[in-house]
Amino acid sequence: MNIPKGYTFAVAEAAFKKSGRFDLGAIVSESPAVAAGVFTTNKFQAAPVLQCREMLADGRRMSGFLVNSGQANACTGDEGRANCRETLNLAAKALGVPADELLPASTGVIGAQFDMAKWEAAMGPLAESRATAGPEDVAKAIMTTDTVHKLAEASFEFKGGEVRILGMCKGAGMISPNMATMLSFIMCDADISGEAWQAMLADCVNLSINRVTVDGDMSTNDSVMALANGASGVAIESEDDYILLRKHLLTVLEELAYKIVMDAEGGTKVAFIQVSGAKTDEDAELIARAVGNSPLVKTALFGSDPNWGRIICAAGYSGANFKANDLVLKIGGVLVFRNGTPEPGDMDDLLGPIMQERDIVIHLDVGTGPGSTMLLASDLTREYVSINADYRS
């Protein structure tokens, strides 16, 4: 794995929810890095989200991330905010960095207060692990209902040398974004201004992680944060430099976005919902999300049932401005519906093999307008219901 220069990793078993697994992690930059973040727009924002927003607002450099699974520290009021700050104080002493340069993140059950005794007990193991821990360990520590840890990397050459990007995320349920959709951490060793890094992250998140849905629910803790510490010695100065770095950052985020939907709670399918020809991008988005969030479409995907009428129905109630007779539907490249009527042929026979695939492309063209979008959506399975019915047990 091509780990960006100047980063170390740490993990500990704190037993926040269950024992016998890593559930506390840290990523530390050896020198303070420019930092950027994109967060949930849920009105009930968790204590770590509020803390990060405050810390990033003044544009100062950051030295790392501190993240736990098992408890979200959301809807916990003033006590939760105080506990969040105290975890930063504890970790700062253990890791040897200033408390106001550690960005916190949490995931897990909403409403429970931190057990601060467990945090204190975990600090020694967290510090000791920096000699041996790697990114895979932290990626595993942030998992909740995820079945696999999720990493993506990129390395590429500039005139001044090699730059590396490494991303990790957790997410399998409560996935449907407005801004961000889970916990994701990006490390880069390029030298870039804070303003450019923030703009690049927000742009790339909007084109990747913001275009996924599992269940239509947006979390209280969704965060995507990124550090760039300049340890490669490569400065991002020209427009060409910016374009190249953005290209690879987007590739990393797109890979993470796909891995989230592929690992959706109980998920077996990934639908690539493409909408074109809409009057506006907003109309295209309405159609894609209506289709991707429809329980009937999602259960048909799970059953490998080519019930294309459910897709047409969802587009029709989406609220998007288009004419019914303009809609053309293709599934896996097979023309299914146009001019208000189904195409001739045995669609069950034509679409049957396509519906058995893991990845299924659903393309809706709704006119001649410039609006378009693409959304990744999972199916809805019996296991999803079981996982979430038993989540706290």
Instruction: With a cut of 60, say whether residue 181 has pLDDT above it.
Output: no
Mean pLDDT of the 69-95 span: 95
Q: Is the pLDDT of residue 296 over 90?
A: yes
Distance separating alpha carbons of residues 324 and 312, to the nearest angstrom? 9
What average pLDDT does range 7-18 have in this prediction? 94
Q: What is the mean pLDDT of residues 127-146?
A: 91
- Could you confirm whether 181 is annotated as catalytic? yes
CATH architecture of 7-262: 4-Layer Sandwich (3.60)
Residues of the chain with CATH 3.10.20.340: 270-389
- What does the pLDDT read at residue 340? 95
Whether the model clears a pTM of 0.95, i.e. scores above it, the answer is no
Instruction: Give percent of the chain with pLDDT exceeding 70.
Output: 92
CATH architecture of 270-389: Roll (3.10)
pLDDT of residue 172: 54
Stretch(es) of the chain classified as CATH 3.60.70.12: 7-262
| Per annotation, catalytic residue among 144, 181, 213, 381 | 181
Q: What is the mean pLDDT of the chain?
A: 90
DSSP string, 314-358: HHHHS-----GGG-EEEETTEEEEETTEEPSS-HHHHHHHHHTSS
What's the confidence (pLDDT) of residue 393?
46
Burial class (CB in 10 A: 0-12, 13-18, 19+), 389: exposed
Where b means 16+ CB within 10 Å and e means fewer, 270-288 reads bbbbbbbbbbeeebbbbbb
